[in-house]
Structure 1
Amino acid sequence: MASGGGIARSRLMEERKSWCKNHPHGFVAKPETLPDGTANLMVWNCIIPGTEGTDWEGGYFPLTLHFSEDYPTTPPVCKFPAGFFHVNVYPTGAVCLSILSSAWKPSITVRQILVGIQDLFDHPNPASAAQDISYKLFKKNMVQYKKRVREQAKQYPSLV
């Protein structure tokens, strides 16, 4: 195994321990389980809850973090299901957020990524739009935009 991969895995093990000790309410972040029952530290399945008092409230949105062997030098790829409705989410589901690209620092934690994406739900960045439909509604028809967000939240109820 390349030494870089060892660094990525040891950092991810630390992230996992830290998350298990203390994580924000309603959030889930855990490495995927492989068919043999072992954990794949390079892919994490996460849930980001919609913030109370916003149109996102009541939704528990599935997000996958894909880490490379270069982590934490490079950020993970963060993806919602394809077609996720948000100004800063590409049609593929990939999240467009500065801390996942130009503003990435190796010190950024899984917790910071997930909280940052949750914050993005209700504070999209139209200057960095990643999909047309939500961007146009956000700019021209806020009532319809908010309605779509609330409909999407209902598609992702709590599994607990």
Structure 2
Amino acid sequence: MMKSEGRMSTPARKRLMRDFKRLQQDPPPGVIGAPRDNNIMHWDAVIFGPNDTPWDGGTFKLSLQFSEDYPNKPLRVRFVSRMFHPNILADGSIFLDILQDQWLPIYDVASILISIQSLLCDPNTDSYANSEAARMYSESKREYNRRVRGVVEESWTSDW
């Protein structure tokens, strides 16, 4: 059991313990996540690139930061691994509607990680964060996929 300076019983922390328990008991395929250093408010996660896609074989690391307002307010999540994607900035920030204006308290860590995983193969073409990746995705899929494969290979050697 995790301890943290006697503030264990806040609603956000209780909810995060539930999210963690669910992830352990019923892990969705292709994603893992856990609190970092026994700090329930800060998690590390990994998304595995979906099979039979240019992302196949990739292991992409993410950082999840929760506030005491969770789940009423969305978490801050970003890729730690280098990414090349229309909806992901160079700093790893992810442009995904459910992490911004479409957030609902019903979303838990598992559903967020699954949504990010599906975003990899299915970018939101209405809202771009990386214009180079967006242009390449729409104009030259082959070149885009080649860049993605490079990011996948890099994910095997990058450190935590």
Say whether the fold is shared (TM-score over 0.5): yes
Identity %: 34
> Residue deviations 1:28-57, cap 9 Å, x none?
200011xxxxx1111110000100000000
Question: Which region of structure 1 is more displaced relative to structure 2, 80-89 or 146-155?
Answer: 80-89
Determine the structure 2 residue equivalent to 1:89: 88
Aligned residues: 152
5+ residue gaps, structure 1: 34-38
1:66 is the counterpart of 2:65? yes
1:57 aligns with 2:56: yes
Aligned to 1:28: 32
- CA distance in structure 2 between the aligned counterparts of 1:148 and 1:16, rounded to whole angstroms: 34
Is the 1:82–1:92 Cα contact (8 Å) retained in structure 2?
no
Deviation at 1:26? 3.6
Residue type matched to 1:73 in 2?
N
Which position in structure 1 is the counterpart of 2:10?
6
Aligned pairs (5 A) from 1:5-154: 6-33=10-37, 39-81=38-80, 83-154=82-153
C-alpha displacement at 1:82, in angstroms? 6.9
Against the structure 1 CA distance between its residues 23 and 148, is the aligned structure 2 distance closer, same or farther, given a 3 Å change threshold?
same
The CA distance in 2 between the partners of 1:55 and 1:91, in whole Å, is 19
User: Does structure 2 retain, via aligned residues, the 8 Å contact 1:59–1:157?
Assistant: yes
Q: Displacement of 1:124 after TM fit?
A: 0.3
The separation in 1 between residues aligned to 2:65 and 2:135, in whole angstroms, is 29
- Structure 1 residues 25 and 83: alpha-carbon distance in aligned structure 2, compared to 1, 3 A threshold: closer
Could you tell me how far apart the structure 2 residues matched to 1:94 and 1:85 are? 12
Letter in 2 for 1:76: L
TM-score scaled by structure 2? Answer: 0.88
- Per-residue deviation, 1:139: 2.0
CA distance in 2, matches of 1:82, 1:93: 7
Q: CA, structure 1 residues 49+125, in 2 after alignment: closer, same or farther (shift >3 Å)?
A: same
TM-score, with structure 1 as normaliser: 0.88
Distance 1:95 1:30 in 2: 19
Any conservation in 2 of the 1:65–1:76 contact (CA below 8 Å)? yes
For 1:106, the aligned partner's letter is P
4+ residue runs over 3 A deviation: none
Structure 1 Cα separation of the partners of residues 96 and 14 of structure 2:
25
Instruction: Find the residue that maps to 1:95 and give its secondary structure.
Output: coil
The answer (yes or no) to whether the contact 1:82–1:91 under 8 Å persists in 2 is no
The secondary structure found in structure 1 opposite 2:71 is: coil
RMSD: 2.0
